[in-house]
C-alpha cells in the first residue's frame, strides 16, 4: 500500500511538516507548530505523530488522520536535556535523551488518553554523549521493548514491561564506530549501520545473533530504515542512498536527487528520503530497482528526521 502521510522534522525550525502523498505527483504539505519554540524530531504510528523537542524534554502527539488539518493533542513534560530520538507504537512513545555524559535516559510515555499523557517510567542506560547525541536512534521491538543507540559503541535494549522497573541490557554489534539502528518489529530483526564506515549488519532481535552483513558503497551511514527484506540507508555526506536486500544479500545505490545527504524511512516497498541540506522529501519505490515516485517541498530547512504511514 502506498504511504499516505509523511512527516518531516528539522532541528532548525519550530514547525514540522505533514505531507499527504495520496497522489505522489501532487503532494500537499501542511506545517504544524507543536509549541516547543525549538526544533523537533518526529515519529509516526498510524494517525499519530510523536514530536520531540530538540532542546528540551517535551513531547507532543499530533493527530494527522486529516493531513490537511492536523490536531494538536497532549504534551508530556520530562526533565530530559533534549530529545535525540523517539519512536511510537500504539499509544506508547519512548524518547531518548540527547545530551548526557553519564547514563543517558530513555523515557516511556502513555498517550492512550491523548490529552492527558502519563510518564510511565525512566530507564538509565550506559550511553553517553561522547561528542554526539547520547541517544539518537529509538526503535520498538515489541509493544514495551525498544532498542536505542547513539554516540557510544553499544546498542541498548530497554524493556518497559514493568514501566517503573525497566530492564536494561546491552550488546555490541562490533562496528568500527557508533551504530545507527532501526528494527522491524514484525520480523524481529535489528539493522545497524556503522557511522564511521559503510558496513551494515543485521541481527536477530531476541538472541542478538548476527544474521548477515554487507558493505554498502557509502563512506558513512547516518540513517537506517528496515522493512524486511529491505534496508534503506543513507549518509549525511553523500548524494546517493543505498538499498540492501537481505536475500543474497544484494545492494543497489541510487540518487534520490536531494542535492546532498539524506535521512530515511521505509514501509513495505516504499522508501522515503529527506534532504539534510534542504527541505525536500522524496518518495521512492523500492520493490525492485529504486524508482522516484514523487517529491514535495516540506519548506523546513535541513531535514533531520522523516517517517511515514499507510493509514
- The one-character DSSP state at 114 is T
Average pLDDT over residues 89-115: 96
Q: Is 294 helix (H, G, I), strand (E, B) or coil?
A: strand
Angstrom distances, CA of residue 66 to CA of 30, 46, 70, 112, 161: 10, 12, 6, 19, 32
CA pair distance 243, 231, nearest whole angstrom: 6
CA pair distance 14, 132, nearest whole angstrom: 22
Residue 23 domain-assigned (yes or no): no
Q: Which residues pair with 167 in a beta bridge?
A: 159
What single string gives the DSSP state of each residue in 178-236? -EEEEEETTTTEEEEEETTSSEEEEEETTT--EEEEEE-S-S---EEEEETTEEEEE-S
- CATH code of the domain containing 154: 2.130.10.10
Give the residue from 172, 207, 225 where a domain finishes: 172
CA pair distance 124, 178, nearest whole angstrom: 19
Q: Which residues pair with 152 in a beta bridge?
A: none
- The whole-number pLDDT of residue 4 equals 85
Number of structural domains, the chain?
Answer: 2
Do 146 and 232 lie in one domain? The reply is no
Residue 150 domain-assigned (yes or no): yes
Residue 132 has pLDDT above 90, yes or no: no
Do 282 and 305 lie in one domain? The reply is yes
∠ CA 170-171-177, nearest 5°, is 110
> What's the predicted TM-score (pTM) here?
0.97
Do 106 and 187 lie in one domain? The reply is no
Do 158 and 282 lie in one domain? The reply is no
Do 184 and 270 lie in one domain? The reply is yes
Give the residue from 172, 202, 235 where a domain finishes: 172
Residue 3 domain-assigned (yes or no): no
Do 168 and 189 lie in one domain? The reply is no
Residue 28 domain-assigned (yes or no): no
**241 neighbors 233 (Cβ within 8 angstroms):** yes
Do 165 and 297 lie in one domain? The reply is no
User: How far does the chain reach from its first CA to its final CA, in angstroms?
Assistant: 9
Residue 60 has pLDDT above 80, yes or no: yes
Neighbour count for residue 210 (Cβ, 10 Å) = 14
Q: Is 116 exposed, middle or buried (0-12, 13-18, 19+ CB in 10 A)?
A: exposed
- Averaged pLDDT of the chain: 96
Average pLDDT over residues 222-235: 98
Structure confidence by residue, pLDDT tens digits, 146-163? 999 999 999 999 999 999
Task: Give buried/exposed letters for 30-55 (b at 16+ CB in 10 A, else e).
Answer: bebebebebbbbbbbbebbbbbbbbb
Residue 18 domain-assigned (yes or no): no
The C-alpha cell that represents 124 in the structure block = 538509565
Do 126 and 209 lie in one domain? The reply is no
- The whole-number pLDDT of residue 2 equals 56
Average pLDDT over residues 67-88: 96
Average pLDDT over residues 124-130: 94
Tabulate helix, strand, coil % of the chain (nearest 5).
0, 50, 50
- The whole-number pLDDT of residue 3 equals 63
Do 303 and 191 lie in one domain? The reply is yes
Range of the domain at 230: 175-311
Give the residue from 139, 157, 172 where a domain finishes: 172
Q: Is 170 exposed, middle or buried (0-12, 13-18, 19+ CB in 10 A)?
A: middle
Average pLDDT over residues 85-104: 96
Residue 51 domain-assigned (yes or no): yes
Do 187 and 121 lie in one domain? The reply is no
CA pair distance 27, 283, nearest whole angstrom: 10
Average pLDDT over residues 231-241: 96
Residue 16 domain-assigned (yes or no): no
Do 179 and 290 lie in one domain? The reply is yes
Residue 5 domain-assigned (yes or no): no
Do 210 and 285 lie in one domain? The reply is yes
Structure confidence by residue, pLDDT tens digits, 209-225? 999 999 999 999 999 99
CB within 8 A of 68, min separation 6: which ones? 20, 28, 30
Amino acid at each position: 500500500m502506498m504511504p499516505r502521510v509523511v512527516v518531516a522534522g528539522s532541528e532548525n525550525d519550530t514547525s514540522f511538516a505533514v505531507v499527504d502523498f495520496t497522489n505522489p505527483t501532487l503532494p500537499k504539505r501542511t506545517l504544524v507548530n507543536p509549541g516547543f519554540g525549538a526544533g523537533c524530531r518526529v515519529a509516526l504510528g498510524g494517525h499519530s505523530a510523536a514530536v520531540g523537542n530538540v532542546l528540551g524534554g517535551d513531547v507532543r502527539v499530533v493527530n494527522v488522520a486529516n493531513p490537511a488539518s492536523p490536531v494538536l493533542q497532549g504534551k508530556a513534560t520530562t526533565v530530559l536535556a533534549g530529545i535525540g530520538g523517539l519512536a511510537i507504537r500504539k499509544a506508547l512513545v519512548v524518547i531518548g535523551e540527547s545530551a548526557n555524559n553519564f547514563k543517558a535516559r530513555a523515557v516511556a510515555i502513555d498517550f492512550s488518553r491523548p490529552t492527558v499523557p502519563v510518564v510511565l517510567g525512566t530507564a538509565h542506560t550506559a550511553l553517553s554523549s561522547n561528542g554526539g547525541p547520547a541517544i539518537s536512534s529509538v526503535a520498538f521491538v515489541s509493544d514495551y521493548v525498544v532498542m536505542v543507540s547513539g554516540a557510544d559503541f553499544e546498542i541498548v535494549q530497554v524493556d518497559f514491561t514493568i514501566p517503573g522497573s525497566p530492564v536494561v541490557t546491552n550488546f555490541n554489534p562490533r562496528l568500527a564506530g557508533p551504530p545507527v539502528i532501526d528494527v522491524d518489529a514484525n520480523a524481529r530483526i535489528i539493522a545497524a549501520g556503522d557511522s564511521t564506515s559503510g558496513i551494515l549488519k543485521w541481527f536477530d532481535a531476541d538472541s542478538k545473533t548476527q544474521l548477515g552483513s554487507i558493505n554498502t558503497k557509502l563512506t558513512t551511514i547516518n540513517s537506517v530504515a528496515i522493512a524486511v527484506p529491505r534496508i534503506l540507508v543513507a549518509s549525511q555526506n553523500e548524494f546517493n542512498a543505498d538499498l540492501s536486500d537481505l536475500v543474497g544479500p544484494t545492494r543497489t545505490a541510487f540518487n534520490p536527487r536531494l542535492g546532498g545527504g539524506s535521512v530515511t524511512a521505509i514501509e513495505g516497498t516504499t522508501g522515503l528520503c529527506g534532504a539534510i541540506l534542504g527541505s525536500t522529501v522524496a518518495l521512492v519505490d523500492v520493490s525492485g530497482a529504486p524508482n522516484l515516485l514523487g517529491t514535495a517541498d516540506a519548506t523546513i530547512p535541513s531535514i533531520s528526521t522523516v517517517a511515514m504511514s499507510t493509514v
